[in-house]
Structure 1
Amino acid sequence: MPVLRSGTPHRPVHSLATAAGALLATVALLLGLPGTAGAAAGRHAPEPTHPDQDWAGSQVARHEGATTGILPPPSLTASAEGVDVSSHNGNVAWSALWNSGVRFAYVKATESTSYTSPYFAQQYNGSYRSGMIRGAYHFATPDTSGGAAQAAYFVAHGGGWSKDGRTLPGALDMEYNPYGATCYGLSPTGLVDWMKDWFATYKARTGRDAVLYTSTGWWKQCTGNSAAFGRINPLWVPRYGSSVGELPAGWGFHTIWQYTSTGPAVGDHNRFNGSMDRLRALADG
């Protein structure tokens, strides 16, 4: 044990512990939780317990309802048909979907920073081999870790992008919390900041602005109907019925419409708001 020299002031043990704790907290914020979204660092929720049951629209249908038997009329303008899938779909018969007219697919890759879909390879590569344009999406859980951490995990586990003309930019799925508080225990400002961190990290790692999947109802309730992303991030909006309906603030038009959760073969069917040439342009960047 070191001996204190004469004239050296003695620091109380609790002061040293307090200083060390503050330093560790600061380091943790800087490394794992960039931006103001890191304010909730000390109260993270547990990692998801049933990520195989969470997919794009799983909670939208649960909270907002899903109209069955009513599909939108054929588009009067150019459009392309698509699907989205996750592990709950298992191995997908991509050739059958291609033959039915499906031309693009979004595939769930990850959730939080702990889950990668065990069916991702079959679905992501299988859709590509069938001739489709494909992309990956991340199911967000903003209460388990920071936006930057989840974006980095997504990119490292299938959510990257390549300029091959047939890979869509990644998508961030923001919807009702499957595990608790609807808005993940965050304020509207906290959620917006979390998404800003996610999008910034994704773009820094891939060079692309990601797509945002969200419902107008959840967006109004949890972000205060923020208009922060409409000028940059393409909108993928779910609404199960005959029309796309009201859009969240900031967007004058949607890019993808998830119009049913009870379609043939895989349930979730989508319509791209434009011609195949425009879909290829979105893929190509």
Structure 2
Amino acid sequence: MDTKRWKAAVRRGCVMAVAAVGAVVPVVAQAAPSGPDVSSWQHVDGRLIDWHAVRAAGHQFAMVKATEGLHYVNPYFVPDSILMRTAGVARGTYHYARPELPPEPQAALYAATVLGQNGPLDLPPVLDLEAPGGLSPAALVEWTHRYLNALQALTGRTPIIYTYPNFWKTAMADSNAFTRYPLWIADYSGNEHPEVPAGWPTWTFWQTTDRGSVPGIGGATDVNVYSGAQGDFARFANMSGLFGSS
């Protein structure tokens, strides 16, 4: 990561944190806790996200891409993490898996980048699994077990799995070997409930759209809701005693 770049980004973000943002059509308010997920793509023209505006729009959490494979770190991860905390937005972070590369070093890169996932306002770590990396279903299942075992050992928390129904059915052969992990499912079908892959009794997070509009974020962004499957959201996100669950 370019150190000068992210330090400058933090300084710009501190200004943005207290500045008003332009008019943006917000996502319709959800009864359940909701939040966007973002990567470098949401930093249009290098602009930082106004996380205070995100929180003011009613979103309690956000998922932020941290790493990918063995060599990529999101250049906006550090400023996003800092500014989310100042705004009281619970932080989820994820690693985009590259299964063509060994799993344990990827888990180590992610864990070193996020600097722990157990503090106040921290959701559990996330494995973003949507590329097979040329592996057969059996090999990909083994790769996923190895990554999740390493990640849990490094972070001390049970990871969340992000995926989408068709990928799980095909690339993972509809495996039911991972149902102890909370599920974050991407399903844009518009149905009342998302499709849940084999074995999982329910979903924990549902990515309902990849074309959401959220105040404080430039351009379209994914938007997610929390089901309550892991209990009270404030406890799940280590928010209890800080900002409550409202």
What TM-score do you get using the length of structure 2 for normalisation?
A: 0.77
- SS of 1:252's equivalent in the other structure is coil
Q: Is the 8 A contact 1:79 1:275 kept in 2?
A: no
Residue matched to 2:102: 146
Alpha-carbon distance, 1:244 to partner: 3.3
State the shift of 1:184 in Å: 1.7
The answer for the alignment partner of 1:274 in structure 2 is 228
Unpaired stretches in structure 2, ≥5 consecutive residues: 1-26, 240-246
Aligned position for 1:133: 90
Paired letter, 2:34: E
Is residue 117 from structure 1 mapped to residue 74 from structure 2 by the alignment? yes
**Match for residue 227 of structure 1?**
176
Is 2:193 the counterpart of 1:244?
Answer: yes
Alpha carbons of structure 1 residues 170 and 276: separation in structure 2 relative to 1, 3 Å:
closer
Alpha-carbon distance change, 187 to 137 in structure 1, aligned in 2, over 3 angstroms: same
Instruction: Say if 1:79 and 1:276, in contact at 8 Å, map to a contact too.
Output: no
Larger Rg: 1
1:169 is aligned to 2:124: yes
Q: Separation in 2 of the partners of 1:258 and 1:159?
A: 25
The partner residue of 1:83 within 19, 28, 36 is 36
The unaligned stretches of length 5 or more in structure 1 are 1-71, 178-182
Shift of 1:277: 6.7
Q: How many Å separate the matches in 2 of 1:282 and 1:210?
A: 12
1:133 Cα shift?
0.9
Greater helix share, structure number: 1
2:99 counterpart letter in structure 1: P
The CA RMSD over aligned residues, in Å, is: 2.2
**1:141–1:184 Cα contact (<8 Å) kept:** yes
User: Which letter maps to 1:82?
Assistant: G
Matched, 1:264 2:213: yes
Match of 1:46 in 2: none
C-alpha offsets along residues 163-187 of structure 1, whole Å, 9 cap, x if unaligned?
Answer: 42x1011100011x3xxxxx32111
Q: Distance in 2 between matches of 1:98 and 1:148?
A: 35
Structure 1 residues 159 and 191, CA gap change in structure 2 (3 angstroms):
farther
2:29·2:58 contact (CA, 8 Å) conserved in 1?
Answer: no
Code of the residue aligned with 2:107 in structure 1: it is A
Q: Distance in 2 between matches of 1:133 and 1:268?
A: 16
Q: Counterpart of 2:237? A: 283
